[in-house]
Chains A and B, each alone.
Chain A
């Protein structure tokens, strides 16, 4: 039976993260946004608070059917991660994206990497002497949604590969200790020609291009990465050659795409956190500004709007929870994950806009948090799969249910 109960432990974790978001993230949020950087002292606070991305599934493979040797014990990793994502993003999603750890580079290493590679690349996060980051570099200036169209080339040379090309919009790109890089042996080969590497910072031929100036999530580092004949040894080819032999039967591509099934719920949860923050703030401001001076019936529309926002936040959260639950229960959740991201992303943009509209009044300065969240939220319908791509996935799954090949 569907069950929405929360254990004492879960309540405690959530309350603690919320407290951390309220006392450590929010006070830094506006300044970090202005500086387009996270304050350095945040990382020692993070460390002292014991918050790390270990609460995120380090091995999302454990949540995927058939990917791990774990028994039938019920996993809760993605559900816990989703709760954490929402609370921390309620604080500031830029800070959430700036948490040390493998970040979006984690899932490919977990899914595709050999045991040795997983040990090697994840080992650096044990060193807490400074914040360490992973990154995920797929997008290029000319290839966003069209993943098969990437042009960063990798050429086989003795002992490894040489990589040449440019990657763009890479989160934590300028400070990552290593980056998961997607390149192609030959664009004509399409997906069959794609290879995935881990490139460590400091390799010759790998440099950081410009940092992007963005509409929102300004404090999150987003950079361009440039590869010019960057040599990468054989042992950095993720999964080794054996993986690509399997990929000829589309196994590898399927696995690569499966990583999105675990990150989409997390991204959806971030959108829910921002939307919830905006809805709560709007309600606070409306209450403060219309105290005791006007008769209620004139403001029915406001209350209806607030009620509507609450409902949409709740619906988005439930869709996100459901996709996380399905992942934990090792059931197929590609459609649920895409629905959660599309719904949460789209609704959150509307909610943030409505929050701003509700509270804007001539003669009053717009609330800086609402403005910031309005700017921040827009990317949630763009990264990790655009709104259109998510709808494509959902629609394709709808036709898959009846075995229809419509050519979508």
Chain B
């Protein structure tokens, strides 16, 4: 029995050890790791479901709706209410939807939704589906037909590039801090102002919180936080003008394609183009078109393979806005700004006359490079204004050389600095995504693009820049912005949205043009404006505007773009006396400025002012 006693002590020790082990573990579990387990327990039972906020509308300057929301009927299945009749229910549903029951079953087999969340199985169903489900609830247990809001475009394809489109957030976006608080199935603006003003349009999603038990049954619903609808965007856009612009752009392109281009031996391709209409006093975009284009409504139901190919894989690249996302050499449309630079830097005066020979050679250049006038003919001695009127190139070559020498002496790139004052070579900060900045070739640019400039900084860069050629590149919007500054004396930030309103029409934010005066005297500006007026009355665009009662100051532009056909430009200010609109047209492979772009601008102005122009709209083969 003594042995029993000592053995019982061993037993007592073992038991004591058990308690030590259990209490240690409990201390770790409950006290040290307690907070984490507490969170786990909360996560277990609390389910949060976001409710979508109604996306804001997009309205033109007069409140006409460009984009709003419409109701789509969506069929959803609540898996936890399907019960034992699941197969029969799916069969009934398959019958009225015309979708195989098996496919519906596969849709249900998803991990995207919690078991208590209804799974959407069909969108855009006809109303009769809703009535059938309501009439025979016993056949459709767990099935609900709910209203979903989707984007709607009452103006059809109008202003497609401006409006953009919405789509499901992608993996890259969801990791972006810009999209903090977005869920994996949220819709976001992907292009156009839908993207720029995403945060305003989206609103504040609501939240429903449920307490669920281990079977996923909802035991309690907490007070939901209702969704706050998104803000509406009021644009500076005028839908009437936009309609005219899109119409005339297409017409102009079609007409250009009938024109034979002698230099390439075939008709003009006129494969793409853009028009920008700005209010020069505010920088507001009144209209903006790009062709080829698309329909934003394609994105509502998801792109068909053909649409997807056309938008994303075809050479036409219709989703790109030619007005803001593609840059072109502005050609002679650039000259007014070079002339002003020459004036300001003392290379020329308003009273002076400058030779316009047929050919120009940079002084001291022995490489044999000859710069030709656009028509291969000289025009004698011309003032700045006369030079602009007939678009003399050789005058400008000379000024290019002058700026080159000035640079060589003083190491100051005055030409580049001066033209940048008009907004060239930098983003205009327009409220549209992925804007191209354009290029003003300067020393920095040449150093960064050594491959294109094997000889480094050479006179030809300044000489070509003087006529808006070579590596000088600008978007049609930048050209319009510069002409608007010429017209008003103020360089304004172009903008599409003029104010943001809440649902009740109260202004939440005003968006101004942020204008600043350009550093030129009114006399200098007036001199150039008058010169540009003479372009439409007696110069390169006179035949286009001959029969019109419009008072237009403008400039043609023709930019070489080998091996393609020339880029056709026209920038016009109307009325020249008291400018209300600046209209810029650009046509890729459109030939001479007066040939394709100028008639487009003329027709737009004519329709805006209801001032019919007589005679054919075809212009001459003039720069």
Do A and B assemble together?
Answer: no
Q: Which residues of A contact B (CB under 8 A)?
A: none
Q: Which residues of B contact A (CB under 8 A)?
A: none
